[in-house]
Structure 1
Amino acid sequence: MDETKEGRDLNQKPWPASSLLGRMSGRVREAFLELGTAVTYGARQKIIRQGEESHHVLVLVDGIVKVFVETEFGSPVLLGLRGRGDLLGEMSVLEGRPRSANVMTCTAAHVKLIKSAQLKNFLDRNPDAWSAVAASLSSRLHWANKRRAEFVACPAPVRVGRVLAEITGRYGVRTAEGWDLDVSLTQAEIASLAGVALATFEKALQLLHRAGLVRRQYRRIVVDDLEGLALFGGSDLRNPYQYGMGDADVAQS
């Protein structure tokens, strides 16, 4: 497909407001989407590797990916999920450093692969695009700071509830049975995102199940009450016994 036509066609799609593409004006977004090469990846394929030299960025046109790091203790830690309209790998490119994390597809993914020089030249010519990139990075940093504060201030079940509500709200699929959290994440990965041990995550999940909010099916989690789950995540922390959160076996990570 002609790159100009492809950029014009992609520009007509609605993009999440929180994504990089959603933050750009229509004119800038169309020009940005004309850059690079279209690439398709299958599910569970690693598309960025931690420690490698960074020579390009990826714009996620369709699909869901997970960002995680390998630790010195051997257990990978999930940092977050990215979806349509998000930019991947820009921090390493802009800083001139090796990749700081791995990126793996959860589903089949369509991306635009843009070389580092292309990206930098485009940003230099388009201050509005720089502003969108800066806003996207700032939002990500704000989210990380909020999550870090929650590690200290919130009981483990609340952290689990908030993470599940966030993931489901953005990436869940509504079915006749409820909200299907089918993004190829293991319980250990979701636990790491919430900052809790796997055993603690399982206890918190049991508490959420008793509250009628979620249930486990084979290799996946179904959210029965997304609104209730969001309310649970905003529970009154002055009352640790709300929903049974004061129980010794579920209160701490």
Structure 2
Amino acid sequence: MNAVCWPPASLLGRLRRQDAEALLGLGRPVSYPAQLRAIRQGDVAEHSLLLLQGAVKIVVDTERGRDVVIAVRGPGDLLGEMSTLEHRPRSAHVLTCSPVQARIIHSIELAKFLARNAEVCLAVARMLSERLRSADRRGIDFVVCPAPIRVARVLLDVVQRHGSYTASGWETGIPLSQTEIASMAGTGLSTVEKAFRRLESAGVLTRRYRRVLIIDLPGLRRFGELPGEIP
């Protein structure tokens, strides 16, 4: 596999072919079944995961005992690198949404690799910057946007980062329940259900088990009050 195969927004998708192949040469292969906790919040960070196949969700345990889904990740993404590079406990769980193939890279090995590969180090920095920008945008959306708009923006974000186009429309690419979408949008399940019904009635999307098919992507952008690409 080379850089051309990877989603453009992923770490591997940002790299030149030779840099991607060098990163893929680190660590050792590992497989996880669906619904497994691959990384546990609070654990000492001794390794990172380079995701090759499958999808995961990033989940945080809150002080009130509620699990919150804050992001999803797919092929080509690097997981757990922040705690690894900062030598701090894990800040979130990584739960597999589907069977996963990855490479497990020891902290020291990753740090040494980044120290001698400026282009990869810069790509990691840009990736982290975009994640922080996305988190900032979600925080602003929570203050200024009604819940149905936040639901649409979550769907747009997932489709643009992980989706694939088919003859029937855009597949989200990652299996997410409505409860998980509600968590990412910072709203309740009933609000997601109402938003989905409105979007279905407008011919914007159709639902499948743990998947959403976007039939009218410009219509979804309009619903989310984003006429163009998410900045």
Fold equivalence (TM over 0.5)? yes
Find the aligned partners of 2:21 and 2:171 in 1 and give their Cα distance: 33
Preserved contact between residue 11 and residue 33 of structure 1 (Cα < 8 Å): no
Report the equivalent of 1:33: 24
Partner of 2:214: 223
Whether 1:52 and 2:43 are equivalent positions in the alignment is yes
209-218 vs 55-64, which deviates more?
Answer: 209-218
SS at match of 1:215: strand
- The residue correspondences of 1:106-125 to structure 2 (distance < 5 A) are 106-125=97-116
**Residue 63 of structure 1: CA displacement?**
1.5
Count matched residues.
227
Once the two structures are TM-superposed, the CA of residue 170 in structure 1 deviates from its matched residue by 3.6
Shift of 1:23: 2.0
Q: Pick from 54, 58, 62: which aligns with 2:53? A: 62
| Partner Cα separation in structure 2 for residue 155 and residue 15 of structure 1 | 34
What SS does structure 2 have at the residue aligned with 1:52?
A: coil
Per-residue deviation, 1:79:
0.8
Following superposition of structure 1 onto structure 2, how do residues 234-245 of structure 1 map, counting pairs within 5 Å?
A: 234=225
Residues 41, 105 of structure 1: 8 Å contact kept:
yes
Instruction: Look at both structures and tell me which one has the larger radius of gyration over its CA atoms.
Output: 1
Higher mean C-alpha deviation, range 181-190 or range 79-88: 181-190
**CA contact under 8 A between 2:31 and 2:99: conserved in structure 1?**
yes
* TM-score normalised by structure 1 residue count: 0.81
Output the TM-score relative to the length of structure 2: 0.89
Partner Cα separation in structure 2 for residue 179 and residue 165 of structure 1: 10
Identity over aligned pairs, percent? 48
Q: CA deviation at 1:209?
A: 2.3
The residue identity in structure 2 corresponding to 1:195 is G
Gaps of 5+ in 2: none
Of 151, 155, 177, which residue of structure 2 is paired with 1:160?
151
How far apart are 1:105 and its partner, in Å? 1.3
1:69 and 1:77 in contact (8 A); partners too: yes
Paired residues of 1:21 and 1:85 also in contact (CA < 8 A): yes
Q: Does the 8 A contact of 2:3 with 2:12 survive in 1? A: no
The residue aligned with 1:82 is 73
The amino acid that maps onto 1:51 is G
Q: 2:7: which partner in 1?
A: 16
Against the structure 1 CA distance between its residues 208 and 50, is the aligned structure 2 distance closer, same or farther, given a 3 Å change threshold? same
Report how far residue 54 of structure 1 moved.
0.7
**Structure 2 SS opposite 1:100:** coil
Matched, 1:145 2:145: no
Partner Cα distance (1:122, 1:169) in 2? 30
Is 1:198 aligned with 2:202?
no
Post-superposition shift, 1:109?
1.4
Mapped partners of 1:142, 1:36: distance in 2: 29
Q: Give per-residue Cα distances to partners, 1:10-57, cap 9 Å, x unaligned.
A: 336422222111222222222221110011222222111111111000
User: SS where residue 66 of structure 1 aligns?
Assistant: strand
**Hey, what's the Cα distance between the residues in 2 that align with 1:182 and 1:12?**
19
CA separation in 2, counterparts of 1:129 and 1:105? 26
* Shift in CA distance, 31/218, structure 1 to aligned 2, threshold 3 Å: closer
Partners of 1:224 and 1:58 in 2: CA distance: 33
**CA displacement at 1:177 relative to structure 2:** 5.4
8 Å CA contact retained: 2:4, 2:13: no
Mapped contact 1:212–1:225 kept (Cα < 8 A):
yes
